[in-house]
């Protein structure tokens, strides 16, 4: 089964060739662009400054005909969403359909030179026919350890390691786990847009849905899923009924009915990235209450430096990439048992703010998403230039061979 070519063409406006400097970047992602603003958005919006970036999401199954939706965000990134009829495809047919869709995308947008950037190894099967100048695997997490991970994910990741020119990891623990699987693995831990979150230090106006919640407030923002230690947050709420826990973010892969409910627990739902500093401004402590399990073994929470930049004292469970370096440097309090976690929160609330912020700012000055993107771009450009040079060398050798084989004819004609 193949995608309906006319149907795809009808839904793809033509914007012409890439007139920018860099080769087009095609990102294959298991995440939705509009879900939570995190690492992919920070990096790819920066790449979009000098090239076209296409963010190809996993399919959405719905009523209606097969089509490929393409829309552009203010940052310049094109969001590509395959929309497929419900129950219309067997698993073995999906790769064929997606292959046809990405081929039509390349044709309609006149994509020629390009870089493939993978977040999901599951896309390898329907993109291996493409001829990129470079292949990047930005390995954010150990996806095979997540709830509902496809059973073939590890095999697809092995294929991706064989094809990739560069492997980036989202943290040091993940780097240590992957560094022997590829010759070009580079750690790029969670970075920070410090100026954005530092706004929280001076914001005074409370968001309406948080303004009536009493202090002390202990807050969390992020995806609420199987990585959250629900027993821990319930124990904190029970141990200190005068404290109020503010939980911001979408609930994913767990039943909302399983969330602990207390009078001093407040689930405020998802918030826009631009509004997060206003919520952080009203917190007395920021929390990283992750469970210690296989799904959190290699995580490097982006919110750690974001909390710190906002000026919040931070308490976390002993996630490896939080303990090292933040816990070791005394920037984050670390505890796992409920009683110890509560005690850590009490200490965090009594910290001397001015001296803590001096240490925090000195540490955060060493990193930024601009720096991370810049270094990644340098590594990619090295691969691209080397591949272009090899292609040019092959072209010149073929030209010389063709000229040599035709030299007698030219000589006769010249006489």
**Mean per-residue pLDDT pooled into runs of 10, the chain (415 residues):** 40 44 94 95 97 97 93 97 87 90 97 97 96 97 82 93 97 95 94 97 96 98 96 98 98 94 98 98 98 92 97 98 97 98 98 95 96 97 92 80 71 48
Q: Are the CB atoms for 297 and 305 separated by under 8 Å? A: no
Domain at 5-187, CATH homologous superfamily:
Glycogen Phosphorylase B; (3.40.50.2000)
DSSP 3-state assignment of 314? strand
- Could you give the dihedral angle defined by the CA atoms of residues 145, 150, 154 and 158, in that order, rounded to the nearest 10 degrees? -140
Do domains 5-187 and 194-356 share one topology? The answer is: yes
- Alpha-carbon gap, residue 16 to 363, rounded angstroms: 44
Helix/strand/coil percentages in the chain, nearest 5: 45, 15, 40
pLDDT of residue 412: 46
The tokens describing 56, both together, are 């190809």
The tokens describing 1, both together, are 């089964």
Measured in degrees and rounded to the nearest 5, phi and psi for residue 285 equal: -145, 140
pLDDT of residue 125: 94
Domain segments of the chain as ranges: 5-187, 194-356, 369-414
Going from the C-alpha of 137 to that of each of 300, 310, 383, 387, the distances in angstroms are: 17, 31, 14, 18
CATH architecture of 194-356: 3-Layer(aba) Sandwich (3.40)
Residue 393: its H or E element: helix 369-405
pLDDT of residue 87: 80
Q: Position of tokens 């009594």? A: 350
């Amino acid at each position: 089964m193949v995608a309906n070519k006319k149907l795809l063409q009808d839904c793809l406006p033509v914007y012409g060739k890439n007139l920018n400097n860099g080769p087009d970047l095609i990102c294959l992602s298991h995440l939705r662009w509009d879900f939570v603003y995190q690492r992919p958005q920070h990096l790819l919006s920066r790449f979009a400054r000098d090239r076209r970036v296409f963010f190809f999401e996993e399919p959405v199954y719905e009523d209606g005909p097969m089509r490929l939706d393409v829309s552009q965000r203010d940052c310049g990134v094109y969001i590509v969403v395959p929309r497929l009829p419900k129950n219309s495809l067997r698993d073995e047919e999906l790769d064929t359909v997606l292959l046809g869709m990405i081929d039509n995308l390349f044709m309609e947008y006149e994509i020629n030179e390009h870089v493939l950037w993978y977040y999901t190894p599951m896309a390898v099967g329907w993109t291996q026919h493409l001829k990129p100048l470079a292949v990047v695997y930005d390995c954010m997490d150990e996806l095979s350890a997540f709830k509902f991970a496809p059973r073939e994910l590890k095999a697809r990741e092995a294929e991706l390691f064989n094809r990739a020119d560069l492997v980036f990891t989202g943290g040091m623990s993940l780097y240590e786990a992957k560094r022997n699987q590829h010759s070009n693995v580079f750690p790029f831990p969670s970075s920070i847009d410090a100026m954005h979150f530092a706004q929280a230090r001076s914001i005074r106006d409370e968001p309406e849905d948080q303004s009536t919640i009493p202090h002390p407030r202990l807050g969390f923002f992020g995806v609420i899923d199987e990585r959250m230690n629900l027993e821990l947050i319930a124990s904190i709420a029970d141990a200190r009924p005068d404290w109020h826990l503010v939980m911001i973010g979408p609930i994913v892969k767990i039943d909302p009915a399983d969330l602990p409910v207390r009078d001093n627990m407040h689930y405020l739902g998802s918030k826009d990235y631009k509004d997060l500093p206003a919520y952080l401004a009203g917190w007395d402590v920021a929390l990283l209450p992750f469970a210690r399990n296989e799904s959190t073994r290699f995580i490097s929470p982006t919110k750690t430096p974001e909390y710190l930049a906002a000026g919040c004292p931070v308490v976390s469970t002993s996630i490896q990439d939080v303990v090292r370096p933040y816990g070791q440097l005394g920037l984050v309090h670390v505890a796992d048992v409920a009683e110890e976690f509560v005690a850590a929160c009490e200490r965090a609330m009594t910290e001397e703010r001015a001296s803590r912020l001096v240490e925090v700012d000195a540490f955060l000055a060493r990193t930024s998403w601009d720096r991370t993107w810049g270094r990644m771009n340098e590594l990619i450009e090295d691969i691209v230039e080397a591949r272009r040079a090899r292609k040019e060398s092959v072209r010149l050798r073929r030209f010389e061979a063709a000229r040599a084989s035709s030299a007698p004819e030219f000589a006769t004609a010249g006489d």
